[in-house]
Amino acid sequence: MSFLSPLFLLGALAAAVPLALHLFHRRTEPVVPFAAMRYLRRTPVEDSRWRRFKELLLLALRVAAALLLALAFARPFLPQAAGALERAATLVLIDTSASLSAPGQLDRLRAIATDVIRSAPVGQSVGVVTFSQGADVIAPLSDDRAGALAAVTKLTLGAGATRYRSAFARAAEQLGNRPGRIVVVTDLQQSGWDAAGEGVLPERVDVELRPVPAPAGNLAVSALTVDSGDAVATIQSYAADGVTTQVAFAIDGHPIGTTPVTVPARGAMDVRVSLDGRQNGALSAAVVDRDGYVADNTRFALLDTNAAPSVLALSASGRDEEVFYLSRALSIGNDADVFRFRAIGSPAFSDLKPDDLATVDVLAILGTRGLDQRGRDLVAAYVRSGGGLLVSAGPQVDPVVVGRVLNGTTHSMMAARNAAPLGFAPDDSRHPVFRVFGGVGTLSSVSFTRSVLLTPGDRAEVIARYSDGSPALVEEQIGDGRVLMFGSDLNHEWNDFPVQPAFVPFVHEALRYLASARLAHREYLVGDLPGNIVPGIVAVGRTESPGAKRPGYPATNPPTPATQPPGTPATRRVAVNVDPREFDPAALTPDAFRAAVGRLRQAGASREAEAATEQADRQRLWQIALAVMVVGLVAEGALGRRLG
Amino acid sequence: MSAGGPKAGRDGRAGEQRFLDPAVLARLGTLELRARTIVEGFLSGLHRSPFRGFSVEFAEYRQYLPGDDLSTIDWKVYARSDRYYVKKFEEDTNLDCYLLLDVSASMGYGSRPSTMLGAARTAGERRGLSKLEYASMLAASLAYLMNRQRDAVGLTAFDERIVAMLPPSARTGHLHQVLLELERLRLGTGTNVAKPLQVLADGIAKRGMIVLISDLLDDPERVIDGIRPFRFRGTDVIVFHVLDRDELTFPFERATRFRDIEGSEEMMAVPSAVRAHYLAELNRATERFRQEFGSIGIDYRLIDTSEPLESALTAYLATRARTR
């Protein structure tokens, strides 16, 4: 049994009061001289032993009442996992993150772990857990020390970031109710405590730190981008002196150039190589770093041209004049920013299969004429699967049809209203769509002659309003997908917006914002994707798991070829790289680490206290104690009266 | 006159407000003053009672002798017999009354104030009227009353033995001696009613009246056996069984260690547990006294010391009225 407020147990000392009175003030009854003793003498005298027993019972009831009162105030509860006390254990937490990939560090890890296992006190269980982004049990807690040593021998490093909280959470899970110690073998990576998490640390467990020295310096490819037809690699040095090295670029594993570079001490340097017009493939840049971490020596990026957002405009016939201003606006920009735009008529749209929309980042509805039920279902499925949808009002858009399209997908509604001249301004200028305008800016010159009445749903947000206060642009998040509803047209029929300077940036930002959900998922860090994925180019496919609330991204590794085989249109390629925070070999001090462990212990304690409070509230043992105390007091009163 | 007893009792109870509380009387100066206050007040109440004229009673007719008061001639008898007869009214001036007062230690018991029933009694704590104080007032009142009737009154005080004794006398000044002796009385030791009664029985030569005032906390057999011989000799006996209110009701509340007032015996008791048995024992004893005494013509009165003395005086007068 545990207690929420154990200090109240001190109140149990009050039980000493009736005890002391019983022991030291037993003759409390008054002495009365009495004459008619002869009649009193004849009354049946209570058996002294029986009376003694009743007095002891009375004493027990009074003591019990005091104890129960103290017990009730101490808020007792029965811990759920309160089992028999198990043997103490030693759990070795081995850091296998990318920051342990310097030469010699793995051997050092193994040596320390081996030493800890061998020196563990006799009779203690021993287990081994490796951790980086996540934590894996490579040797469960047991008496099998040989097995633990063998697991340490087979130890391999990963490329994930250091996450101490998840490591301690797994360790606590492994230890359960056991007392013992956790021995952390780590390089004390500075970013190890950055990530938020649900780490806990039981109070009965000690933490012992066995640090592994970090390398003196490190060289890393911290970024790899494409700029004006060149591949640009940023080389970061964490060495105290300048470092000269070679940067080797490759596409799909084929070298395209090697560039020497001298990086200043604790500085960075960009290195370029021409792509010679190559627009597809998996680009990589690698440096030679013999002393630093191995995992960050290579970085990957995708050259796929389809990196530009793909926009599919839906109109009545798909003809150019129905989407003229939008298509022209999207064609403006440099190579990197260009949109892949395509228009489609309602009949052709209805013939599409869901997979055909897998590569579409944004679907823009500029006309609903001819959109049948199948087409409407296709739009709804697209949004639910995480696509971006722009719905623009206009003479070609029937609010009723829009309502049917969005029915069950969004609660925002569109309804016709009388024409009236209106202005237009963002409701929140910090919204990504309007951030480029720095406030109202040029949007104030847009003049609307007609508009529809937008009614935002419960979960929708109004991000722009007309001058009469009615919503002009409404956003609603639906699963992974986003919907933007614009209350006027984008084809210069109900407003002069398309001929205003603000139109192009507005359309670009709005569509990029809608596409961002998918575009952002083209580059990942190790650990972002499920599975044991190492840095490189990875093919991910969207699947709908039965019963799953959100689609998952099962990944395959190693990198798949740039050209996907037919029949896998929903599969996308993404680049996976090492978390840049792992590049810096600067380590935490042991004291800082222990302080963080202390905070974790406090957090764990408070979490345990919350859980204990919930348990106490649920079990209501204090109420039972009070009820028993009341019953005891009633019995005490009755017995006390009999005893006088 | 005997029929007047119960009625007088009822009148007495009805007029209890007239009577002074014994505790109030106890604060009056001397015992003589208290006795006079009691008796005069009592007698003034009797003017309306059937006891009027008890002391001048018709006894017999006898032939007229020269010098007799002509007003005493019964003219109706003269008319029937043609002889002069005079009514003879007998005044009981020859009755010897013996007041037997128990001064044993148990008579020193007096009630505590009711508010203190649940608390221990400490030294110096104010007590109510003790049984001896009450009995002394009763004896004084009876002596005063007897003296007023020109009866000879004697006093015998006893515990286990006779501690004081004044032979009966109707002389002027004897009452004062009796009252003085009552004032002097102090508590004795244990109770032995039979012994002084035996001594007294041996000393009484002629017919008289015995008034025993005691709490009778003695062996009932001894008490009854001690009194019975008086009755066999034709002596009228009235027994005032004086008990305190606490002894009659046993109102104690919390567990109490009762110590025998006449000894060192202690007894732990829970009043609530023993009250019923105690009262049953007391009632059994009083009932036995009532039956045993009643069977031999002894008037037995259970007196509560919290009640006015007038009821006891009434009982005495009822018995006295029967005495020839």
Top-confidence residue, B70 or A604:
B70
Q: What is the pLDDT of residue B87?
A: 74
Contacting residues of B for A644, CB less than 8 Å apart: 253-256, 270-273
Contacting residues of B for A44, CB less than 8 Å apart: 274, 277
Q: Stretch A363-392: mean pLDDT, rounded?
A: 86
**Contact yes or no for B272 and A642 at CB 8 A:** yes
Dist CA B122 CA B113 (whole Å): 13
- Please state the φ and ψ torsions of residue A523, each to the nearest 5 degrees: -140, 130
Which has the minimum average pLDDT: A128-142, A282-296, A303-317? A303-317
Residues of chain B with pLDDT under 70: 1-37, 39-60, 67, 88-94, 112-127, 205-207, 319-324
Mark whether B234 and B301 lie in a shared domain: yes
Interface residues of B toward A, Cβ cutoff 8 Å, are 105-109, 119-121, 131, 215, 217, 243-244, 246-247, 252-262, 265-274, 277-278, 281-282, 285
pLDDT over 80 (residue A540): no
Which of B121, B281, B285 faces A43 most closely, judged by CB atoms? B281
Contacting residues of B for A58, CB less than 8 Å apart: none
Residue A356: how many CB atoms within 10 A of its CB? 16
pLDDT over 70 (residue A589): yes
Dist CA A330 CA A498 (whole Å): 12
The domains located in chain A, with CATH, are 2-74+613-643 (no CATH), 89-214 (3.40.50.410), 220-303+526-580 (2.60.40), 306-520 (3.40.50.880)
Please report which confidence band the pLDDT of residue A81 belongs to, taking 50, 70 and 90 as the band edges: low
Per the listing, tokens 């042991």 go with A590
Q: Quick check: bond before A558 cis, omega within 30? A: yes
Contacting residues of B for A27, CB less than 8 Å apart: 257
CB pairs under 8 A between A and B: 105
Q: What is the pLDDT of residue A185?
A: 94
Per the listing, tokens 């041996």 go with B202
Optimal mutation site among B103, B258, B267, B305, interface A, most CBs of chain A within 10 A: B258
Minimum CA–CA partner of A27 in chain B: B257
Which of A41, A43, A643 faces B255 most closely, judged by CB atoms? A643
Which of B256, B261, B274 faces A30 most closely, judged by CB atoms? B256
Domain boundary among B75, B90, B105: B90
Assign A97 to helix, strand or coil: coil
Adjacency order of strands within the sheet including B152-158: B162-169, B152-158, B96-102, B208-214, B236-243, B299-304
Token pair belonging to A128: 């081994």
* Cα A547-A550-A554 angle, rounded to 5 deg: 95
Q: What is the pLDDT of residue A363?
A: 92
Assign A76 to helix, strand or coil: strand
State the nearest Cα–Cα gap between B269 and chain A, in angstroms. 8
Mark whether B67 and B170 lie in a shared domain: no
Number of domains in chain B: 2
Q: Stretch A486-507: mean pLDDT, rounded?
A: 90
CATH number at residue B231: 3.40.50.410
Q: pLDDT per residue over A331-349, tens digit each?
A: 887 655 578 888 999 889 9
Token pair belonging to A200: 């806990």
Q: Where in A47-105 does DSSP place strands (E)?
A: 76-77, 89-95
State the nearest Cα–Cα gap between B115 and chain A, in angstroms. 14
Token pair belonging to A640: 């006390």
State the nearest Cα–Cα gap between A638 and chain B, in angstroms. 12
Q: What is the pLDDT of residue A556?
A: 41
Which of B243, B259, B273 faces A33 most closely, judged by CB atoms? B259
Contacting residues of A for B258, CB less than 8 Å apart: 31-34, 37, 40
Mark whether B207 and B309 lie in a shared domain: yes
* Cα B205-B207-B212 angle, rounded to 5 deg: 95
Nearest to B225 by CA among B182, B271, B288: B288
Minimum CA–CA partner of B189 in chain A: A35
**Contact yes or no for A32 and B217 at CB 8 A:** no
Mark whether B246 and B151 lie in a shared domain: yes
**Contact yes or no for A34 and B274 at CB 8 A:** no
**Contact yes or no for B261 and A33 at CB 8 A:** yes
Top-confidence residue, B128 or A373:
A373
pLDDT over 80 (residue A275): yes
Burial class of residue A447 (count of CB atoms within 10 Å of its CB; 0-12, 13-18, 19+): middle
State the nearest Cα–Cα gap between A83 and chain B, in angstroms. 50
pLDDT over 90 (residue A130): yes
Which residues constitute the domain of residue B28? 4-52+92-322
pLDDT over 60 (residue A546): no
Q: What is the pLDDT of residue A484?
A: 92
Q: pLDDT per residue over A88-111, tens digit each?
A: 899 999 999 988 888 899 999 999
Dist CA B2 CA B324 (whole Å): 13
Q: What is the pLDDT of residue A112?
A: 94
Could you give the count of Cα atoms lying within 13 Å of A410 in the half-sphere of its Cβ? 32
Q: What is the pLDDT of residue A197?
A: 62
State the nearest Cα–Cα gap between A201 and chain B, in angstroms. 59
Helix axes A373-384, A399-406, angle to 10 degrees: 50
Contacting residues of A for B265, CB less than 8 Å apart: 37, 41
State the nearest Cα–Cα gap between B232 and chain A, in angstroms. 29
State the nearest Cα–Cα gap between B307 and chain A, in angstroms. 19
Mark whether B209 and B263 lie in a shared domain: yes
Q: What is the pLDDT of residue A82?
A: 46
Instruction: State how far the alpha carbon of B95 is from the alpha carbons of A598, A607, B167, B314, in Å.
Output: 111, 104, 13, 18
Q: What is the pLDDT of residue B8?
A: 36
Contacting residues of A for B268, CB less than 8 Å apart: 29
Q: Where in A132-218 does DSSP place strands (E)?
A: 135-142, 180-186, 205-211
pTM of the full structure = 0.47
Dist CA B32 CA B26 (whole Å): 11
Burial of A233-253, coded b for 16+ CB within 10 Å and e otherwise, reads: bbbbbbbeeebebebbbbbbe
Q: Is the dihedral of CA A67, A69, A74, A79 positive or negative?
A: positive
Mark whether B83 and B159 lie in a shared domain: no
Mark whether B146 and B293 lie in a shared domain: yes
Mark whether B11 and B33 lie in a shared domain: yes
Please report which confidence band the pLDDT of residue A644 belongs to, taking 50, 70 and 90 as the band edges: low
Please state, rounded to an integer, the average pLDDT across all residues of chain A. Answer: 82
Which of A37, A39, A641 faces B265 most closely, judged by CB atoms? A37
Optimal mutation site among A22, A27, A29, A40, interface B, most CBs of chain B within 10 A: A40
State the nearest Cα–Cα gap between B136 and chain A, in angstroms. 18
Mark whether B86 and B154 lie in a shared domain: no
Which of A30, A44, A641 faces B119 most closely, judged by CB atoms? A30
Adjacency order of strands within the sheet including A298-302: A254-263, A243-251, A282-287, A298-302
Q: What is the pLDDT of residue B229?
A: 82
Dist CA A526 CA B106 (whole Å): 105
Which of B108, B120, B281 faces A30 most closely, judged by CB atoms? B120
Please report which confidence band the pLDDT of residue A249 belongs to, taking 50, 70 and 90 as the band edges: very high
**Contact yes or no for B258 and A32 at CB 8 A:** yes
Please report which confidence band the pLDDT of residue A139 belongs to, taking 50, 70 and 90 as the band edges: very high
Which of B107, B254, B267 faces A37 most closely, judged by CB atoms? B267
Please report which confidence band the pLDDT of residue A353 belongs to, taking 50, 70 and 90 as the band edges: confident
Mark whether B80 and B112 lie in a shared domain: no
Nearest to A514 by CA among A622, A339, A361: A361
Domain boundary among B71, B90, B109: B90
Q: What is the pLDDT of residue B124?
A: 38
Q: What is the pLDDT of residue B32?
A: 67
CB contact at 8 A, A91 and A141: yes
Contacting residues of A for B270, CB less than 8 Å apart: 46, 642-644
Dist CA B95 CA B320 (whole Å): 10
Which of B121, B256, B273 faces A46 most closely, judged by CB atoms? B273
Dist CA A362 CA A76 (whole Å): 58
Domain boundary among B69, B90, B111: B90
For residue A250, the cross-strand partners are: A255, A284
Alpha-helix residue ranges (DSSP H) falling in chain B:
4-14, 22-26, 31-46, 75-81, 131-148, 174-184, 194-203, 220-232, 245-249, 271-295, 310-322
Mark whether B38 and B68 lie in a shared domain: no
A468: DSSP letter:
T
Dist CA B213 CA B316 (whole Å): 12
Interface residues of A toward B, Cβ cutoff 8 Å, are 27, 29-46, 641-644
Question: What percent of chain A clears pLDDT 70, i.e. is strictly above it?
Answer: 86
Contacting residues of B for A55, CB less than 8 Å apart: none
Nearest to A121 by CA among A181, A205, A186, A204: A181
Question: What percent of chain A clears pLDDT 90, i.e. is strictly above it?
Answer: 20
CB contact at 8 A, A575 and A523: yes
Which of A32, A36, A44 faces B259 most closely, judged by CB atoms? A32
Dist CA A513 CA A469 (whole Å): 24
Mark whether B167 and B309 lie in a shared domain: yes
**Contact yes or no for B121 and A30 at CB 8 A:** yes
Q: Stretch A101-123: mean pLDDT, rounded?
A: 91
